[in-house]
Amino acid sequence: MILIPLAIWLQPGFTSFCLLVGSILLVMIVELLNTGIETAIDYQSMEIHPMAKLAKDLGSAAVLLSLLNLALVWGFYLWDRFG
């Protein structure tokens, strides 16, 4: 939540602001979906099943990719702004 006030403080243009804040919201959305997947799988059965493990791993991979997207968007913006 530190990044949204930072995005406001940096006063980027409209498009850059939308990309910066959008990348933050994307991480939150994907994390919520991942939590939903994991909760649904755990509710169905607590036994270890290869397909359940795969679904959880893919959800975690989606979170990782959204975090990578966040780092790239912010990194490219800050590089362009201060580099």
CA dist., res. 73 & res. 62, Å (int): 16
Note if 31 is an active site residue.
yes
Distances from the Cα of 61 to the Cαs of 17, 53, 57, in angstroms?
A: 26, 12, 6
Distances from the Cα of 46 to the Cαs of 1, 16, 32, 38, 57, in angstroms?
A: 33, 44, 20, 11, 16
Q: Which of 31, 33, 37, 67 is catalytic?
A: 31
CA dist., res. 40 & res. 52, Å (int): 10
Task: Please give the positions annotated as active site.
Answer: 31
